[in-house]
């Protein structure tokens, strides 16, 4: 039995849960998964048993508890030092950490108006102005990553890193709401969506039956 357990929300909706889940899957770290559907009966009480913030994701490793998606991945990176979780070069690493933290702490309009909804495809969506500002900034970040640091491979920094996990739910949002992208960024989106772990997550999200009507606003 693996000694790591990841507590997540619904795969269709829980963007924060996707991040460490993808990290664990990509690096083939064995783990047990506990899924607690968001806002369903008893959600808070169940989550509070694992996560003092009352939010998912949370990770249990023996008697250690970690919550907050980025903290979980940093913890896993430290406890699995042979894995290449960040780029090697100091300037690429600094950039990767900065754009990951920027995602973790911002993009409120993008998160509010383009909620992750993996099983949905909306082709006629016009984002409000503040969401367009966020979308423009994500495009700028991805373009700079791919053009400056990503030449050696298909991921933001060439090899797969925590930064790709941080932006994977944004890929799903851009997909669902049919955000227009340059060929460079469309290729990056395909790389993420074609990852076997992402395909597994998307298939599982399609099999879920819970509906959170407050974010189904098409
Ligand atoms: N900053 C947190 C965000 C966690 C978060 O907001 N999770 C959502 C689900 S995606 C949640 O648990 N919401 C329940 C609530 O707010 O009551 C992280 O990075 O893990």
67 located within any domain: yes
Ligand 1 atom nearest 17 alpha carbon: 10
What's the CA-to-centroid distance between 15 and ligand 1, angstroms?
8
Averaged pLDDT in 10-residue chunks for the chain of 218 residues: 93 98 98 97 96 97 97 98 97 98 98 97 96 98 98 97 98 98 98 98 97 86
What's the CA-to-centroid distance between 133 and ligand 1, angstroms?
23
Mutate to test the pocket of ligand 1, among 6, 13, 16 (most ligand atoms within 8 A of CB): 16
The DSSP output letter for 149 is I
Q: Which domain holds residue 169?
A: 90-201
Structure tokens at 59: 């990770």
In this structure, the answer to whether residues 11 and 110 fall within a common structural domain is: no
Q: Is the CB of 169 under 6 A from ligand 1?
A: no
In this structure, the answer to whether residues 163 and 61 fall within a common structural domain is: no
* Residue 30 DSSP SS3: coil
Q: What residue's CA is closest to ligand 1, atom 13?
A: 55
Task: Give dist(CA 216, CA 218) in Å, integer.
Answer: 6
CATH number reported for the structural domain that contains residue 97 in this entry = 1.20.1050.10
Determine whether 209 is exposed, middle or buried from the number of CB atoms within 10 Å of its CB (0-12, 13-18, 19+).
Answer: exposed
Report how many domains make up the chain.
2
Task: Give dist(CA 112, CA 215) in Å, integer.
Answer: 9
pLDDT at site 217: 72
Q: Is the CB of 16 under 6 A from ligand 1?
A: yes
44 located within any domain: yes
Task: Give dist(CA 48, CA 192) in Å, integer.
Answer: 31
pLDDT at site 14: 98
Q: Which residues pair with 10 in a beta bridge?
A: none
Task: Give dist(CA 166, CA 102) in Å, integer.
Answer: 10
Which of 44, 60, 82 is the last residue before a domain boundary?
82
pLDDT at site 211: 95
């Amino acid at each position: 039995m693996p000694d790591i357990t990841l507590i997540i929300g619904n795969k269709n909706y829980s963007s924060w849960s996707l991040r460490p889940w993808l990290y664990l899957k990509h690096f083939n770290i064995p783990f047990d998964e506990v899924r607690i559907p968001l806002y369903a009966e008893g959600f808070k009480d169940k989550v509070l048993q694992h996560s003092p913030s009352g939010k998912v994701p949370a990770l249990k490793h023996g008697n250690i508890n970690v919550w907050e998606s980025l903290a979980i991945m940093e913890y896993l990176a430290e406890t699995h030092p042979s894995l290449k979780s960040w780029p090697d070069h100091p300037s690429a690493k600094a950039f990767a950490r900065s754009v990951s933290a920027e995602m973790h702490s911002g993009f409120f309009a993008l998160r509010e108006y383009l909620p992750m909804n993996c099983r949905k495809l909306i082709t006629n969506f016009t984002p409000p102005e503040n969401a367009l500002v966020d979308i423009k900034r994500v495009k700028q970040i991805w373009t700079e990553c791919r053009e400056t640091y990503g030449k050696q491979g298909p991921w933001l920094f060439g090899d797969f890193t925590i930064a790709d996990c941080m932006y994977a739910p944004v890929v799903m949002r851009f997909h669902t709401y049919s955000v227009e992208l340059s060929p460079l960024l469309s290729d990056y989106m395909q790389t993420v969506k074609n990852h076997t772990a992402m395909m597994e997550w998307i298939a599982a999200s399609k099999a879920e039956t819970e509906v959170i009507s407050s974010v189904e606003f098409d």
